[in-house]
Every structure is written in C-alpha cells, then in structure tokens.
Amino acid sequence: MDMIDTLGAAGIIPVIVIEDIEKAVPLARALVKGGLPVLEITFRTSCAAEAIAKINREVEGATTIAGTVLTLEQLCAAKAAGAQACVAPGFDPEIVKAANRLGMPFCPGVATASELSQALSLGCRLVKFFPAESAGGVKYIKDLLGAFRWTGVKFMPTGGVKPANVRDYLAVPEIICCGGTWIAPKDAVAAGDWAAIERLASEAAALKAR
C-alpha cells in the first residue's frame, strides 16, 4: 500500500491497546462502522500480532498498521500478521533499515530536527510527531516545516491529540493524519461498549473534514 495515501485518506487513526484478544474483532468492527478504517494496533500487549491477523481475516474494510514497533522481533511479527505498515514512537535507525529491507512501510517517531533529519536520510517520508502536545504541538511542527517543507515530509502527530485540538493539526497541509487513544478508551473496550466506541469513531470521523 502507499502508506501516505492510506493514512491520509483515513485522517484520524485510532491508537489501540488490546489486552483481550476476544475484544479485537468487535472493537475493530465498531471503529470501521464509525468511519475510521485504519487502525493502529500497538505492540504494548502480547496479543498484538494475533489481533492484527484476526482483524485482517474477519473485519471487512479494516486496514491494520502495527504501532509501538520497537524491536526487530515485533517488526517481523507485524509483517507476518499482515500489518500494512508499522509505526513507532521514536526513531531507531536499525529498525527503519530493517523495515526498508523487508519492504515494510515504516513511520518512525521524531520530536527534534535532528531525528527528522536522520529519518529523512533513511528514506522516511512520513514521520510520527510524538509526544505531540508535550513536544510543542502545532506550532513546533510549523517551525520544523520552515526548514523541512521542501523535503516533502509529512507528519502524523500523536500524543495529547484530542477532539479539542485535532482540527488545528489537520489544518496544516503537511499533517496528513492524527492518531489518538481517545477513540478507543480503555474502560469502554474492557466493558465491551461497542456502541460508545462507534459513536466516538463517528464523531472523530466528522472532525477530519478539512
């Protein structure tokens, strides 16, 4: 897939933590039904790869990307599970190089000009800006763009992005999408409250209109 086109079309990416594999499919269905088809399943729990594979098999219309990919092992597990792309909170050149070798689209996290510069030199064209709000928010990205816009780099901010500020981010043309956990809150997932999650997803999907 073209990662930039797919993530850009989605606009808002739910960042998901799945503790219980039985929740993966109904959660993904609720998010897709609410209008958010691209799901970042994080490797913060041991069932992440299984969740990706299960969603790919059972949820029509869902596109899975793997999140919090910090190790080579996770990268390989994400690929084997059928993740379409991988995302990380930070920039690890060895992981980016391994992803390039595997042909896996990889979006590393950056929070400084130096990290961005290194990511670009490894061929990354989309970076996660993390933790977005703590690192300086929209203003910081605009300042980075002053120096880096000419490279064509695109941003996916996450970390503190919420309904109250997501439009400010998406108003910047180089910010192609935003990620956040607010769309699949831990409590609602644990309770199996799929109606609430579908509602949060459709409210989020409505916010992405530029």
181 counts as binding ligand 3PG under rule CB under 6 A = yes
Per rule CB under 6 A, is residue 136 in the interface with ligand 3PG?
no
Binding mask 3-42 for ligand 3PG (x = CB under 6 A): ------------x---------------------------
User: Which residue has tokens 């190089």?
Assistant: 97
Binding flag, residue 137, ligand 3PG (CB under 6 A): no
The alpha carbons of the chain give a radius of gyration, in whole angstroms, of 16
Give least dist CB 162 to ligand 3PG, A.
Answer: 7
Judge contact between 75 and 99, C-beta under 8 A. yes
- Bridge-partner residues for 16, per DSSP? 41
40 belongs to the catalytic site:
yes
Identify the active-site residue in 23, 54, 79, 128: 128
> Please, is 7 exposed, middle or buried when counting C-beta atoms within 10 Å of its C-beta (0-12, 13-18, 19+)?
buried
Tell me if residue 97 is catalytic.
Answer: no
Stretch that binds ligand 3PG, among 4-12, 58-66, 74-82, 178-186 (CB under 6 A): 178-186
26's CB contacts (< 8 A; 6+ apart) are 192, 194
Tokens representing residue 172 in the block: 């910047």
- Write out the residues near ligand 3PG by the rule CB under 6 A: 15, 89, 130, 158-161, 179-182
